[in-house]
Amino acid sequence: MSKPLQGIRVVELGTHIAVPLAARTLADWGAEVIKIEPPNGEPWRPMGKAYGVPARSDHNPLFQTPNMNKQSILINLKSAAGLEAMHKLLAGADIFLTNTRPGALSKLGFSYEALQEKYPRLIYAHFGGYGPEGPDRDRPGFDIAAYWSRTGIPLEWTLAGNIPLKPQGGFGDATCGALLTSGLLAALFGREKTGKGEFLQISLYGAALWFNNCGVVTYQPQYKMNYPRTVADMKNPHSLLYKSKDGDWFLISIPDWDAHYAKLLTMLGLEKYISDERFQGIANFLKNPGPVIDILQKEGYGLIGTRDLEERLVKADFVSQRLFHPSEVLKDEQAWANGYLKEITLEDGEKVALPANPVNFASFREDYALAPQLGADTRAVLKKLGYSDAEVDEMLANGAVK
């Protein structure tokens, strides 16, 4: 079946997750994605070791998700022949995306300004840590620093006295990859109208502020919100998590407390408090939130078993969710039923479950080709560019490619 991006060529000079994941998404939807790697491979290839999982050439699960459905070519961009091959790739490309630092790109002659005149239809996307301007524009940034820590999220999402949140690696990068993908698609659409390329820039820091928009608003001093918050700072009895009798945590979201508090108290067997003015509306709750929260936990949720509580919440049609342990996610029937998890077989024959692209098209099904081995497509890509076998052999011999 035809995919919407068939005929689009993408050249990725990217590392880690955000840029490679954006390119992987385009590949899923039909684009030809050529991943440019340095002679030793991009730094995410061995990163599984830092997470306690294998990072062998025949078993590298962490490398798979950002890099499936691509081709890999190893080019030494410090060699004249390597630079020439890179320019031939760009001459036939629709999209070039990279997170290489601007200074290094300029030295190689791959700044946007240098490429704009040569390839006027090229869509050029650059991803960085803190943005192209300002005092920190040249600082390196992983998502744990520029995305999470710089925007206040680990403290905002933690109650006072608790350990600050430490998110799983790559989570912020992945959100940036999604935002970058949307920008690239908009640029492709715009080029259909104008015939001209585009320059996109996105950063970890800027994306984090965008995605944490509710937090950014409430940080502002005129709203008098304290961070990290305490129980007394809660504006709704269900801005907190509650524990069942069995010790499982539950999230119950009831934004309109005034309309639903009686239904909730009845569900919890706390009808005697329906006439208690402390429960009758958010205004009364805010006068002294501590006792209300205490009653809900100790006399309500804390006396109900996990399964019983889940059934009651579903029956009452409240937005709720028991907090899963990570080990439960891979057994979740809901994920498998919707194809959000896929089992793949790695090169050594072992199977691993990976998250799947969650955007499902009615007109085609996703293909899942394993991430390319290091430089596996070097010869094939160069021959497609017009190089002969002898010329490729010469480039291999002099180290221009590998």
Quick one: average pLDDT of 66-88?
96
Q: Identify the structural domains of the chain with CATH numbers, from first to last.
A: 9-211+372-398 (3.40.50.10540), 233-325 (3.30.1540.10)
State mean pLDDT over 347-351: 96
With cut-offs at 50, 70 and 90, classify the pLDDT of residue 387.
very high
Question: What pLDDT is attached to residue 18?
Answer: 95
The answer, yes or no, to whether residue 163 has pLDDT greater than 80, is: no
pTM of structure: 0.91
Task: Encode burial over 242-253: b for 16+ CB neighbours within 10 A, e otherwise.
Answer: bbbeeebebebe
d(CA 14, CA 366): 23
Q: pLDDT digit string (tens) for 83-116? A: 999 999 999 999 999 999 999 999 999 999 999 9
What would the pLDDT profile of 201-241 be if each residue is shown by its tens digit?
A: 999 999 999 999 988 898 898 988 777 877 777 778 887 78
Q: According to the model, what pLDDT value does residue 23 have?
A: 98
The least confident of 97-101, 127-131, 194-198 is 127-131
3-state SS assignment for residue 174: helix
The tokens of 324 are what?
Answer: 């899963």
Q: What's the whole-number mean pLDDT along residues 246-264?
A: 92
Range list of β-strands (E), 55-168 = 71-74, 95-98, 123-128
* Per-residue pLDDT at 304: 96
pLDDT reading at 144 higher than 80: no
Q: pLDDT-derived band of residue 154, with 50, 70 and 90 as boundaries?
A: confident
Closest of 202, 186, 183 to residue 194, by C-alpha: 186
Largest CA-CA distance found in the chain, in angstroms, rounded? 88
Whole-number Å distance between alpha carbons of 343 and 214: 36
pLDDT at 250: 93
Q: Is the pLDDT at 39 greater than 90, yes or no?
A: no
> Is residue 31 very low, low, confident or very high in pLDDT (cuts 50, 70, 90)?
very high
Looking from the CA of 255 toward its CB, the CA atoms found within 13 Å total: 1
Higher-pLDDT residue of 230, 170: 170
Q: What is the mean pLDDT of residues 311-327?
A: 92
Of 369, 337, 340, 370, nearest in space to 356 by CA: 340
Where does the pLDDT of residue 200 fall: very low under 50, low under 70, confident under 90, or very high at 90 and above?
very high
Cα–Cα dist 2/363, whole Å: 8
Identify residue 112 by its one-letter amino acid code. Answer: Y
Q: Which residues are catalytic?
A: 173
Predicted local distance difference test score (pLDDT) of residue 129: 81
Give 70's DSSP letter: -
Cα–Cα–Cα angle for 242, 287, 220, nearest 5°?
80
The confidence band for 328, taking pLDDT boundaries of 50, 70 and 90, is very high
Average pLDDT score over the chain:
92
Region 4-18: mean pLDDT is 96
Q: Read off the pLDDT of each residue in 269-296 and give the average, rounded to a whole number.
A: 92
Q: What is the mean pLDDT of residues 291-310?
A: 95
The residue-averaged pLDDT of 51-70 equals 95
* pLDDT classification of 189: cutoffs 50, 70, 90: very high
pLDDT band at 59 (very low <50, low <70, confident <90, very high): very high
Is the pLDDT at 160 greater than 90? The verdict is no
Phi first, then psi: give them for residue 13, nearest 5 degrees.
-110, 75
pLDDT over 90 at 373, yes or no:
yes
| Poorest-pLDDT segment among 73-87, 215-229, 335-349, 387-401 | 215-229
Q: Distance between CA 61 and CA 343 in Å, rounded?
A: 11
Residue 157 pLDDT > 90, yes or no? no
Closest residue by Cα to residue 207 from 165, 151, 259, 162: 151
